[in-house]
Structure formats: C-alpha cells, structure tokens
Amino acid sequence: MQINIVKIGGNVVDNPEALQTFVEEFSQIEGPKILVHGGGVLASRLSEKLGIEPKMVNGRRITDENTLDVVTMVYAGLVNKKIVALLQAKGENAIGLSGADGNLITSEKRPVKDIDYGFVGDIVAVNVPLLETILSHNYVPIVAAITHDKNGQLLNTNADTITAELGLGLARHHDVSLFYGFDKNGVLKDINDDQSNISEINFEKYQDLQAEKTIHSGMIPKLDNAFKAISKGISQVWLGKAEDVRKAINSKSKGTFIKTQTS
C-alpha cells in the first residue's frame, strides 16, 4: 500500500484562509493518507491569555503541568475537531485521534539532562495494526501531537517526530512518503526571502547549513526527523508550503526534497 503522511504546522492551523486552502488540496489527494498536526501558535496565544508564559528551546516547547493542559485542549480538542469537520465538509471521512486513542502512540517522559522539558514524550511504540485497520476502511486519521505513557499520563510530543515515527512504523510493510507542510517554500537560504528555497538537501549539506546558522529553531527538528526517516526506509521526504502538498506528491512543486545520506 502506498501511504502519504502529511504534517501541517501551527502557522497554517492558525490562519483560517491557509487552513481552508490546505484542506481543499488535502481532500483531493488520492489513496490512503494520514494528517498530523500541532497547533503551537494558537497554544502559545492561549497560554499568554491565561498568564502562562510560553517557553521554547531549539524549537521545542517546555511543557509544565499548566502548559500540558493548554496544549491538550488546543491540539487534541479545538484544532483536531476543526480539521476533522472541515474535511468532512469535503467528503473525507476523517477521524480525529491523539496518541492515547486506541493506544495509537505510546511514549515515555523525556529524562532530564541539560534541559528539563517537562511533560514531553519520546515515542516508544506506534500501533501500526490500528492505523492499517483505519486506512483499510477508508477513514482518514487526523493525529494530534499528544501521546500517552500507558500509566494515565498525557505527554506533549513534537508533531514532526510523530510524523516520522508513524511513517517508520508503516514503512515496514508499505511504501511511505512524508510531506511536511508549513508557511514557507521549503528550507530557505534566507529566512526573509521565500524564493531562496533549496530544492534538494543531503545530510552533508544539512550539517553545513547548521554550521553556517542558516538553519535554526523549529527547522532543526523537522530536518532531524526527515533525515532519520529517509535513512530508515521512508521513500520520500518533502518540506514546503502546505498548499503545495498535492503538487509535491506528483513531483510538481517547489519546496525541498530530502536526499539519501551519502558517505
């Protein structure tokens, strides 16, 4: 089975026009597909309204107990159900899930090393048979970036990582491609110039771009996961504007394609 897994970022989720455009495009992608989302922009805004200061380190959110409540409400509640409803309006039989639903994604609380990330989960296992069952019945899983530890504890988990781990689990028996959609034309040489996208990157080029500080913040977890995925059997990884995902699937899009690591 050919499966396309698409992830959209918080800037897309937070922009009603961009989200609607994406939903239009996503609903026209044929075949089995999965959508993964976060909602970090909205979560940060709600946190501030509640007097909870958002804290980020290298593009990753520090999640204390109050912040966990906020991200769970935003990701697994408001954002997830909004996307499900929009897709249902397009005739897509979407089903909203967190990692706790059907034991889809189990994780463990990240150990404290240099940084205490709080209630952040590192993925332990993905329930691949559940995904296969859902897809075989023509449902479209919409997965929020919340997992659980099987002991009753919900954990905030990076949506880029979830995308990669779902893909790696399914890739054992299926042909899987990953598409990271956000609000830029891909990986940019100049963050202020959306036309400066790099069409292809291998691992050596990625290391050079990091050393040059061309790539930083939230782009680092995206690319870390992309290279892990491509090195472990994922057929294709692409990063670019969410509205261009369908074109990318047909190899007719701008954006950045991740190439296999070379020695």
39 labelled ligand-binding: yes
Q: Note whether residue 253 is domain-resident.
A: yes
156 labelled ligand-binding: yes
Cβ contact 27:91 at 8 Å: yes
Q: Note whether residue 31 is domain-resident.
A: yes
Residues 83-136: pLDDT tens digits? 999 999 999 999 999 999 999 999 999 999 999 999 999 999 999 999 999 999
Residues 155-209: pLDDT tens digits? 999 999 999 999 999 999 999 999 999 888 888 888 888 888 899 998 888 888 8
Domain that holds residue 116: 2-258
Q: Note whether residue 59 is domain-resident.
A: yes
* Number of domains within the chain: 1
Tell me how long the chain is.
263
Q: Note whether residue 263 is domain-resident.
A: no
Check which CATH number belongs to the domain holding 217 and give it. 3.40.1160.10
40 labelled ligand-binding: yes
Burial of 260 (0-12, 13-18, 19+ CB in 10 A): exposed
User: What is the C-alpha to C-alpha distance for residues 236 and 258, in angstroms, rounded to an integer?
Assistant: 7
Q: Note whether residue 244 is domain-resident.
A: yes
197 labelled ligand-binding: no
SS3 223: helix
Q: Note whether residue 157 is domain-resident.
A: yes
The predicted pLDDT at position 261 comes to 53
259 pLDDT above the threshold of 80 = no
| C-alpha to C-alpha distances, 106 to 100, 120, 159, 169, 253, nearest whole angstrom | 7, 12, 14, 13, 34
Q: Note whether residue 21 is domain-resident.
A: yes
